[in-house]
Amino acid sequence: MIQLNLQLQQKQFIVAPKFHGARAAALRSLPEVSRVTFGLQAKPISRLFLYRAKDNSDIISQLELGKPEEKRKAEKRVNGIFWILLINIGIYVADHVFQVPLTKGLYLYHNQPSWYQFITSTFCHFNWSHLSSNLFFLYIFGKLVEEEEGNFALWLSYILTGAGANLVSWLVLPRNAVSIGASGAVFGLFAISVLVKMSWDWRKILEVLILGQFVVEKVMEAAQASARLGGSFRGGGYAMQNVNHIAHLSGALIGVVLIWLLSSVPTPTDEK
C-alpha cells in the first residue's frame, strides 16, 4: 500500500532573532499548525516560519497595492469649485427666473449694508452675460487654486477676496450704489493662481502676461455689457454700480496680500 506523505519544505534561516514587544506578541498568537499526512506522525511547523511568511506577504501586498494608490493620490479630486459655480447659478435662477423676492436682500446696498451682504453679493449677478463670464473664469482659476492648495483654501480665497473687494467698494463708492457680482473674487483667484505657480522662468512670465490681459479684457467686456442694462435696476434711491473697477483691482490686491501672508508663516520644515 502506497502511503502519500505531503511534506512542507521549510526554508533555512541564517539568523533566528528574538522578537520583543508587539512582534513577540504577534508571534505567540500564531497557532501551531501541523503538516498534513496520511497515517503518519504530524510534525509542528515553526511559529517563526509562519510569522516570517506572513510578514513577507504583507510587504509584497503593500508593494503591489502601493502603485495604484499613488496614482490615485496624484489625481486630486476637485469639488469646491463646482459647489461655488452651482451656488452662483442657483441664486441667478432664483433671482431672474423665479424672481424670488428674498434674493434682492443678498445684494450689497451701500447706504445701509448688512454684514452678510459683503459675502452673499459675490454670488449674485445682474444678467446672464455678467454671470457666464464670471463662471468661465471662476472655473479656470478656482480649479487651479483648489488643485494646488485644496478645498478649504479655495473657499477661503473666494470669500476673502470677494468680501474684501466689496468692503473697499463700500468705502469708496457713493452711498446710493448697489454692488453685486463675483468679479472681485475672480481677480483675486487669478492673482492667487498665478503667484502659487510663479517662477522667474521667462516662459511663465509670458504666459502670465498673455493670460492676464485676456482675463482683464473679457471681464471688462462683460462688465460693460452689464452696464448698458444697468439703468433697469433703479428705484428707491438706489443705482446699480455699472463697472466696478475698484472691486476688480482690490480683489487682485487682496489675493496678492493673502499669498504674501501665507508665505510668511513658518512651516514645520522651516523651523527644523
Residues forming the active site = 183, 248
Q: Which long-range contacts (CB under 8 A, 24 or more apart) does 233-239 make?
A: 233/126, 233/178, 237/111, 237/176, 238/109, 238/111, 238/176, 238/177, 238/178, 239/174, 239/176, 239/177, 239/178
Give the C-alpha separation, 221 to 9, whole Å: 79
Give the C-alpha separation, 148 to 167, whole Å: 27
Which position has the grid cell 477661503? 156
Q: What angle separates helix 47-74 from helix 22-29, to the nearest 10 degrees?
A: 120
Cell numbers at 170, concatenated? 463700500
Q: How big is the CA angle at 27 (ends 26 and 32), to the nearest 5 degrees?
A: 120
Cell numbers at 97, concatenated? 427666473
